[in-house]
Amino acid sequence: MARLLILGAGISGQTAALHAKKKLGSKHEVVVVSPNSKWNWIPSNIWVGTGYMKPEQVTFPLEPVYKKLGIPFYQAKAVSIYPEGDSSTSNAYVTIEHTSQAKLGQTEKLTYDYLINATGPKLNFDATKGLGPGKNSLSVCTYSHADETSKELAKVIEKMKKGENQTLLIGTGHGNCTCQGAAFEYLFNVEFELRKQKVRDKARIIWISNESELGDFGIGGMFISRGGYVTHSRIFTESLFTERGVEWITQAHVKEVMKGEAVYENLDGEEKSVKFDFGMLLPPFSGVGLKAYNKNNTDITAQVFAPNSFMLVDADYSKKPYEEWKPSDWPEIYRSPKYDNIFAVGIAFAPPHAISKPMTNPNGIPIFPTPPRTGMPSGVMARQVAFNIADMIHGKEKEPKRKASLANMGAACIASAGANFFKGTAVSMTMFPIIPDFEKYPDTGRDLGYTSGEIGLAGHWIKHFLHFAFIYKAKANPFWRVVPE
């Protein structure tokens, strides 16, 4: 019997677990480790953050699902990996620290034949002084953060109803943040809620971002074919901001968040500040901080993980200049170059470089988005890795044959811009490929036949449908495989 150990139970970890168990059956073991007792459909946290949904509508307990599937589940955080075993055993293992109340703080060793690192990101609020919940800004990164944010938004709305003007600052809280899309969604859901509450005239809404321009979204922007002509996502996005009366600050690295004020540097090296009454600023991401040791108990973390703690995989990590970046730099099978039985999926793998053009201000501060690796691409790569491991365990293949490079993968994204069944809207975007390929598509970097952007009520209905569909799938309900990644 072979054992596949999966670290993490988010979108990528849960997807890998479901597919692997289906492929491996009862003859082999799939084990999941997650510090969280609940699964969270993170894309809908933005709706929790406005009060449109409650935390229980975007979460469910993990243990009953795994019990139903026959998957051992450990509520614990992974601490270190021993891919060669140690002096007492030659079996590869991971040390874990339990986070459940019953075993809080207890440590344990879990052996494995294959390992998938799907731990996701550490929310690195400490990268910016004063950033984050409990300090001077809010977040929608977790359902508990979003719930707190909705309560603070309600207080601001009450002040506006009493005639007070309020400034709302929403965006990214560091020069190397990713997931501009989540902040974008939250901003326009807040703007919609203010109109719904009839206090929009009392609100000044400001977007602050490390993007070089609106519509970059960490993917270098994209060209869209509409009405017989080609337009850039910058025009599309600027039109939306202007139509909704939202101000914007781009090319910004927030260096400190004080009570009611954010201090930032721009690409020109100027230090500026913006005052606010309500601030929701996303943090940068890093890896969760897993360590790695060889059989002699020597620390080999730097050989397995990048400096940002994301796991190294089959990518080109040479420090090539931007002009030499190629789609082939990106990983295809997500396997560790040092250990053949270790894989990393979703946010847990280290990208070879950004997708957007890197920019640094005169003070040496990098101000550009790091690449997004969430949602649909995260699920696709997790499925392919699970299939590859199952094929190798069954002896069908000696090497991973299925590939899932972001350079050969399309993506669809639906960004909510106002939650209401009859009046809501959403921005629906598709692109192919995710990583621009200017050799194949010299004018635009992407295939215009598969790259699009629209806004309307239909997108909101689809976003709602996907919310329920993906939660249904994550619960491993009947015919879950019908729901695509």
Could you tell me the pLDDT band of residue 220, with boundaries at 50, 70 and 90?
A: very high
Q: What percent of the chain has pLDDT over 90?
A: 93
Query: Does pLDDT of 352 surpass 90?
Result: yes
Q: What is the pLDDT of residue 254?
A: 98
Query: Does pLDDT of 484 surpass 80?
Result: yes
Average the pLDDT over 394-398 and give the result: 96
User: Which of 34, 120, 115, 122 lies closest to 335 in space, CA to CA?
Assistant: 115
In the numeric block, which tokens belong to residue 265?
């540097």
Average the pLDDT over 251-280 and give the result: 98
Q: Give the chain's mean pLDDT.
A: 96
Q: What is the pLDDT of residue 421?
A: 87
In the numeric block, which tokens belong to residue 347?
């946010």
In the numeric block, which tokens belong to residue 443?
């004018």
Residue 153 placed within a domain? no
Average the pLDDT over 308-315 and give the result: 98
Domains in the chain, number: 1
Query: Does pLDDT of 453 surpass 90?
Result: no
Residue 87 placed within a domain? yes
CA distance 167 to 280: 12
Residue 80 placed within a domain? yes
Q: What is the pLDDT of residue 444?
A: 94
Structural domain range at position 104: 3-123+286-406
Query: Does pLDDT of 226 surpass 80?
Result: no
Q: What is the CATH number of the domain that holds 343?
A: 3.50.50.100
Average the pLDDT over 55-79 and give the result: 98
Q: What is the pLDDT of residue 113?
A: 98
Residue 430 placed within a domain? no
Average the pLDDT over 374-386 and give the result: 94
Query: Does pLDDT of 258 surpass 90?
Result: yes
Residue 391 placed within a domain? yes
Strand partners, 110: 94
Residue 56 placed within a domain? yes
